[in-house]
A and B are shown apart, each in its own frame.
Chain A
Amino acid sequence: DAGITQSPRHKVTETGTPVTLRCHQTENHRYMYWYRQDPGHGLRLIHYSYGVKDTDKGEVSDGYSVSRSKTEDFLLTLESATSSQTSVYFCAISESGQGQSPLHFGNGTRLTVT
């Protein structure tokens, strides 16, 4: 596996509480991504980063924010979790943009919002 660690691996939280998911890489790749995976929808991009402090929105960014203060860390924050954010969240990294080099995924965080 590429050096990608997601934490926590599982989390149960209540509606309205803030949640932060962490992605740590040891590959020194420039690009980092957060996806969510839901049945029938495949993988949908939430936010991505193309460098330290450089981030942009993806397809389903509402209700999420991200931060990247170091090359190796990319944080995803749900400011006020909702039941619709129950999902499996994957972090991915790539050397170049998504359309130019393979994505390497972490093993995911299963988030349940009750």
Chain B
Amino acid sequence: QQQVKQSPQSLIVQKGGISIINCAYENTAFDYFPWYQQFPGKGPALLIAIRPDVSEKKEGRFTISFNKSAKQFSLHIMDSQPGDSATYFCAAANGNKLVFGAGTILRVKS
């Protein structure tokens, strides 16, 4: 049972474009929504996270948008760069339970 559904599986974006990755969750008890970024040969690393008391959080070129009523959240990467090419995982957590999405492979073409 996949508790966090992530789409798309893969994404190709031109340099300077906007990359958008979407996630949907089922468990309304989730109260922490992090995004992890993973480069080849490395472990994932926390990129940005949001709690449901805000609808948007921005850190540099990375923005999380959160829609509590729709149980959806998304990552927007503005002015995408080739260095952003990586695998991105959304996740949802409640207390000690954290569930990851299946991941999105992003390729930014220069």
Contact = CB atoms under 8 A, between A and B. Distances in A.
B31 interface: yes
B32 interface: yes
Contacts, number: 55
Contacts of B36: 103
B98 A108 contact: no
Nearest to B44: A105
A16 interface: no
A108 B43 contact: yes
A21 B52 CA distance: 37
Interface residues of B, number: 24
Nearest to A35: B100
B95 A43 contact: no
B102 A99 contact: no
B95 A99 contact: yes
Contacts of A92: 43
A17 B44 CA distance: 29
B100 A44 contact: yes
Interface in A80-114: 90, 92, 97-100, 102-108
Given A90-B43, A107-B41, A99 B98 contact: yes
A105 B45 CA distance: 7
Given A40-B102, A41-B102, A102-B49, A107 B96 contact: no
A108 B40 CA distance: 11
Contacts of B98: 45, 98-99, 103
Contacts of A104: 45-46
Nearest to A56: B96
Interface string B11-50: 0000000000000000000011010100001111110010
Interface of A: 4, 40-45, 90, 92, 97-100, 102-108
